[in-house]
Amino acid sequence: MPELPEVETVVRGLRPALEGKRIARAEARRPDLRFPLPENFAARLTGRTVREVVRRAKYILIRLDNGETWLAHLGMSGRFTVSPGASASSGQAGHNSGWALAEKHDHVIVEMADGGRVVFNDARRFGYMDMIPPGGEAASVHLRMLGPEPLSAAFSPDYLAETLRGKRTPIKSALLDQRVVAGIGNIYACEALWRAEISPQRSAHTIAGGRAMRLVGAVRSVLDDAIAAGGSSLRDYVQTDGELGYFQHNWGVYGREGESCSACRADVHDECKISRIVQSGRSTFYCPRRQR
């Protein structure tokens, strides 16, 4: 499932195509994705101007000029692609031919007044969309329980230590709890813990002081690096221009079971091997020598 860096990359790709521009036409080519689409979904988008496109955790929030927010979650295989619309040079005929170009799993198509075209494609339909009423984001069922953004000042060592106080769950599980911190998924939890030299099995309540400082710094650095690389492409994820992300080539431990981690190789400890365990039904990769 796309995590924070992948969603942030998509948001940055959508902004030039959507922000400040009017939606000339929208089409929902099926009534549902993972959940039913909102009532009159396409009609509520048509004619609206997009004020801004932002990310909250793993959600894409497209704020409209009437105060409504179009919320999208990519799920497992959802992807937004952006391209110049056929109508950019061919007038009304371009509208008709543009819809005919839709692929089998293009479920939501938005054509902008300037001729741009934004398409949501989701082969497995685990993604979903909603329309949040004006002023309703804070109370939204999708957003109201989320913790702070990991790249914000609110996600500080003091905050993390206080939030984890008394928690006896493994720190890896705590990082995946969206109420603790928003947007971190399995890949980047593994990578951050490796950078911070903290075992994924360590009890969350022991993360304080220097450990909390290292972990907050590691979370921020791995997310920043991943965003700069366009995210990690596994299976279905692509950027809005169709390009793959390439941060998967920079993973320190994730998916590298049995290899020596780069930090241990640098310390001339070639006997070190990355281990894989299962926590809460998910694979965790870590270096037993480096992470304590």
Could you tell me the residue range of the domain that residue 211 belongs to? 157-286
Residue 64: closest CA among 78, 35, 43 = 43
Question: What's the pLDDT at 93?
Answer: 36
Question: Do 171 and 243 share a domain, yes or no?
Answer: yes
Residues 161, 153: Cα–Cα separation, whole Å = 15
Q: Count the residues in the chain.
A: 292
Question: Do 73 and 191 share a domain, yes or no?
Answer: no
C-beta neighbour count of 266 within 10 angstroms = 9
Question: What's the pLDDT at 180?
Answer: 98
Question: Do 211 and 121 share a domain, yes or no?
Answer: no
Question: What's the pLDDT at 235?
Answer: 53
Given a contact cutoff of 8 angstroms between Cβ atoms, the answer to whether 28 and 130 are in contact is no
Question: Do 274 and 215 share a domain, yes or no?
Answer: yes
Question: Do 114 and 161 share a domain, yes or no?
Answer: no
Question: Do 83 and 175 share a domain, yes or no?
Answer: no
Residue 156: closest CA among 220, 218, 216 = 216
What's this model's pTM, rounded to 2 decimal places? 0.89
Question: What's the pLDDT at 236?
Answer: 52
* CATH code (residue 83): 3.20.190.10
- What burial class does residue 88 get, using C-beta atoms within 10 Å of its C-beta: 0-12 exposed, 13-18 middle, 19+ buried? middle
Residue with tokens 């400890």: 269
Given a contact cutoff of 8 angstroms between Cβ atoms, the answer to whether 2 and 221 are in contact is no
Residue 166: closest CA among 200, 206, 134 = 206
Question: What's the pLDDT at 87?
Answer: 44
Question: Do 104 and 219 share a domain, yes or no?
Answer: no
In a domain, 281, yes or no: yes
Residues 126, 149: Cα–Cα separation, whole Å = 24
In a domain, 143, yes or no: no
Question: Do 92 and 212 share a domain, yes or no?
Answer: no
Sheet with 128-132: strands ordered across: 50-56, 59-64, 69-73, 128-132
Give the active site residues.
2-3, 58, 282
From first to last of its 292 residues, the chain has per-residue pLDDT tens of 789 999 999 999 999 999 999 999 999 999 999 999 999 999 999 999 999 999 999 999 999 999 999 999 999 889 999 987 544 444 443 444 445 556 889 999 999 999 999 999 998 899 999 999 999 999 999 999 999 999 999 999 999 999 999 999 999 999 999 999 999 999 999 999 999 999 999 999 999 999 999 999 999 999 999 998 887 755 555 556 666 555 776 889 999 999 988 888 766 666 789 999 999 899 999 999 999 9
In a domain, 37, yes or no: yes
Which DSSP letter does residue 205 get?
A: G
Question: Do 9 and 101 share a domain, yes or no?
Answer: yes
Task: Give how many domains the chain has, as a whole number.
Answer: 2
Question: Do 161 and 268 share a domain, yes or no?
Answer: yes
Q: 116-121 and 23-28 as β-strands: parallel, antiparallel, unpaired?
A: unpaired
**What are the DSSP E strand ranges found in 124-234?**
128-132
Question: What's the pLDDT at 95?
Answer: 44
Question: What's the pLDDT at 265?
Answer: 73
Question: What's the pLDDT at 136?
Answer: 98
Question: What's the pLDDT at 99?
Answer: 53
Question: Do 172 and 279 share a domain, yes or no?
Answer: yes
Question: What's the pLDDT at 1?
Answer: 72
- Across 209-220, b (16+ Cβ under 10 Å) vs e yields eebbbbbbebbe
Question: What's the pLDDT at 231?
Answer: 77
Question: What's the pLDDT at 270?
Answer: 63
3-state secondary structure 149-176: CCCCCCCCHHHHHHHHCCCCCEHHHHHH
In a domain, 291, yes or no: no
Question: What's the pLDDT at 233?
Answer: 55
* CATH code (residue 233): 1.10.8.50
Given a contact cutoff of 8 angstroms between Cβ atoms, the answer to whether 175 and 181 are in contact is yes
Given a contact cutoff of 8 angstroms between Cβ atoms, the answer to whether 267 and 278 are in contact is no
